[in-house]
Chains A and B, each alone.
Chain A
């Protein structure tokens, strides 16, 4: 069974601070996705990373896929209250459906 461990579980920071959340596994994934979920809503896809070492930027969010395709990180620069939410990583391993991590709950305080 492929497992994805996300850390930290909870993160509370002040507006303007930088942060990094991590998604780690002992398994290799074909691709890795990041979703954001706001209260009362379903997760929404932010990005997919496919190639080992790949870096993608989405405004103030930077996503990186590890060289060995076993881990990923999400870095947010100058966090804003609108970044508050649950961040989920999900790994695609071929024939099996996406495997989700348990998420990092981020709270950005104004």
Chain B
């Protein structure tokens, strides 16, 4: 029972470097999400994909891009990392959006940008 799998678990970048965070789910869910979690700020939505082939901005999309590669995979890319992007990133999935939307989360990626 893998659920939602995120890689890597930890990453250290220098300012200006790029990287892609990977996320895959094996629950045949339609919707996928990327959140960041910072102390005192709770979970903030970066981007989401309501269904395969669609992506939408969340609350804090600046500095990020996403790709819904297929139904299983949803990646988050930082093109030019900044110290303000130091955070814990969570990928989540749900069967569908809307009524009775239930999120299943991965275990997170801790990213430090120096």
CB atoms of B105 and A42 under 8 A apart: yes
CB atoms of A88 and B106 under 8 A apart: no
Chain B 47-69 interface mask (CB, 8 Å, partner A; 1/0): 01000000000100000000000
Q: Give the distance to chain A from B76, nearest Cβ to Cβ, in Å.
A: 15
Q: Across the interface, which residues of B come within 8 angstroms of A9, CB to CB?
A: 40
A102 to B39 alpha-carbon distance, docked (Å): 9
Tell which of B43, B100, B107 touches A31, judged by Cβ atoms closer than 8 Å.
Answer: B100
CB atoms of A102 and B41 under 8 A apart: yes
Q: Which of A11-19, A66-74, A77-85, A90-98 participates in binding chain B?
A: A90-98
Please tell me the number of chain B residues within 8 Å of chain A, measured between CB atoms. Answer: 25
Q: Across the interface, which residues of A come within 8 angstroms of B40, CB to CB?
A: 9, 102
Q: Across the interface, which residues of B come within 8 angstroms of A95, CB to CB?
A: 98
A88 to B4 alpha-carbon distance, docked (Å): 19
Chain A interface (Cβ < 8 Å from any Cβ of B): 9, 30-31, 33, 35, 40-45, 48, 50, 88, 90, 92, 94-95, 97-98, 100-103
